[in-house]
Amino acid sequence: MTKFISYSGLLIKFIEPLLDGNENEEEYLMKAKFGQVAWNHCVADENELPLDSEMKSALKKILSIYPEMKETLNMMVLRKALEFPEHHQFIFTVESRHKPDGTVNLYVESAPADKIKK
């Protein structure tokens, strides 16, 4: 039986180095989406997905606009390889969702990399 893994929880752990605890909802979501891009770049590369060239092209464009992010991206790629090597889901959706009690949580949708290859 396959063990369920919360990719929202996994993404939150993955982006911990980017967080300072003072983020508002918009800043937190922006950092989570940056984490999504870094994560997906790694997953595409590790699994030789057809999306790999598109991911590299998107990252090249992002880094041309924000060259100061290159060091952060490199750190996140290394973090994925060292701390999350067994996780191979491609993250499609990252958004914040408001619960009825007023709290906000990070919502993530993902799919196994081997399902994307087909």
Per-residue pLDDT of 30-85, as tens digits, reads 999 999 999 998 998 888 887 767 777 878 888 888 888 899 999 999 999 999 99
Q: Is the pTM of this model over 0.85?
A: yes
pLDDT of residue 4: 77
| Closest among 55, 51, 54 to 38, alpha carbons compared | 55
pLDDT of residue 117: 64
Neighbours of 35 (CB within 10 A): 25
pLDDT of residue 3: 73
pLDDT of residue 5: 86
Contacts of 114 (CB under 8 A, 6+ apart): 47, 88
Dump pLDDT digits (tens) for 88-106: 999 999 999 999 998 889 9
pLDDT of residue 65: 87
Handedness of CA 70, 71, 74, 79 (dihedral sign): negative
